[in-house]
Chains A and B, each alone.
Chain A
Amino acid sequence: MTMTDLERPSKKRGATGAERLTSRTSIISMAFLFVMATYFLVPVYWLVISSTKGPTTLYGSQGFWFSNFQFFSNLSGLFGYSNGIFVRWILNTVLYAGVGATVATLIASLAGYALSKYNFVGKEAIFSIILGGVLVPGTALALPLYLLMSKVHLTDTYWSVLLPAFVSPFGVFLSRVYAGASIPDELIDAGRIDGAGEFKIFRSIGLKIMSPALVTIFLFQFVAIWNNFFLPLVMLSNQNLYPVTLGLYSWDNQYGQAPQLIAYVVIGALISVIPLIIAFLSLQRFWQTGLTSGSVKA
Chain B
Amino acid sequence: MKLVESTRIKEKAYIEKLNNGLTVIIIPKENTQKKYVIWGTHFGSIDNRFIMPKTNEEVFVPDGVAHFLEHKMFEQENGRNSLDVLMSLGVDANAYTTNNHTAYLFETTNNFYEALDELMDYVQNPYFTDENVEKEKGIIAQEIGMYDDDPGWQLYMNALDCMYKENAIKIDIAGTVESINKIDKDVLYKCYNTFYNPSNMTLVVCGDFKPEEIMQEIKNRIVEKEKQGEIERIYPKDEKGINKKYKETSMPVSKPIFLIGFKDENTNKDKVKKHIAIEILMNMLVGKSSPLYQKMYDEGLLLAPLDMDYEFTNNYAHVMLTGQSKEPKKVQEELLKQIQNLKQNMDNKYFERIKKKVYGDYVVEYNNVADIARMFLSDYFKGINSFDYIEQYNTVTEEYTTEILNEIFDEKNMVMSVVNIK
Same complex for A and B? Answer no
